[in-house]
Amino acid sequence: MTELLKIHQMDKDKNKEPIKKEVGGIKLPDGIALGPMFFSKDGRTANAIIGPAIIAFDYGITNSLNRLDKDHLPIDEFQSAFNSQIDDLISEILIYFQNRLKVICKTNVGQFNSVDRCVKEYQKYSIDLGGLCDLNFLLDIDRVRGRKHHSDRRYDNDYTINAVVYDSIGKLRALNRRVHKEIHGIDSKLALTHKDYEIKVSQTANSVSLEFTADSHTLDFTRGAKVVPKKPDDPKKSG
């Protein structure tokens, strides 16, 4: 399956500063953030990601980082910002693990509701997530999320994660970037043993073209874009 995406760079207003976003993964021109590519069967509900799972992760974590757009917050607002950031990070981590595993096992997988569940699901396919990242760091973020959302400590002032105190907006940004680094490290290592896509990037003065070619899987659009194994006689770039 090959998906070709062309992003046209918008003309910049000479009287305004261009909007700048931090984007992980592929380097893009200022003012452009690459969003996730979804296939929607009914026009309302996204059923499948068409393209590498890491791109959807990058898009989500970029939005989460860009919401931290103030240098200082009152204590009550910071508590809410901390809780929201933890929730956002875990959501993006779980979605990444789920979508990445689909193309490894060549079938759909269930909903992942915790990092620990992700670890167990990957073990079924002989993949040790602990050997690919600082797993205790990711597990501790998830434990803090549980404490903040499912106990009477939702609004306490303990902002400790994995022995580090994230008690300022700057430190939350650093937390976001560390999560980004850990997941990209996992993705790079998985690419060596469980390759998902070939990616070709072409850039001109006015546009960026990204071409994704699925390595060993395809999508069955007759079944809501379900991930299935690529047939041996399929052309390399067939869908």
Would you kindly state where each structural domain of the chain is located, as residue ranges? 32-195
Average pLDDT for residues 2-26, to the nearest whole number? 47
At residue 148 the predicted structure's pLDDT band, cuts being 50, 70 and 90, is confident
pLDDT above 60: residue 144: yes
Q: Cα-flanking dihedrals φ and ψ of residue 38, to 5°?
A: -110, 145
Mean pLDDT, rounded, for 7-29? 47
**What average pLDDT does this structure show over 210-226?**
80
Which long-range contacts link 195-198 to residues 24+ away (Cβ below 8 Å)?
A: 196/52, 196/53, 196/100, 196/103, 196/104, 197/51, 197/52
- In the structure encoding, which two tokens stand for residue 215, read together? 């390595």
Q: What's residue 149's pLDDT?
A: 75
- CB-based burial label for 143 (10 Å; 0-12, 13-18, 19+): middle
**CA separation for the pair 165, 147 (Å, rounded):** 15
pTM (two decimals): 0.81
Buried b (16+ CB within 10 A) or exposed e, 100-130: bbbbbbeebbeebeebebbbebbeeeebebe
| Residue 171 exposed, middle or buried by CB count within 10 Å (0-12, 13-18, 19+) | middle
Task: Please report, rounded to a whole number, the percentage of residues in the chain having pLDDT higher than 70.
Answer: 78
Query: What DSSP character marks residue 3?
Result: E
Asked whether the predicted pLDDT for residue 202 surpasses 50, the reply is: yes
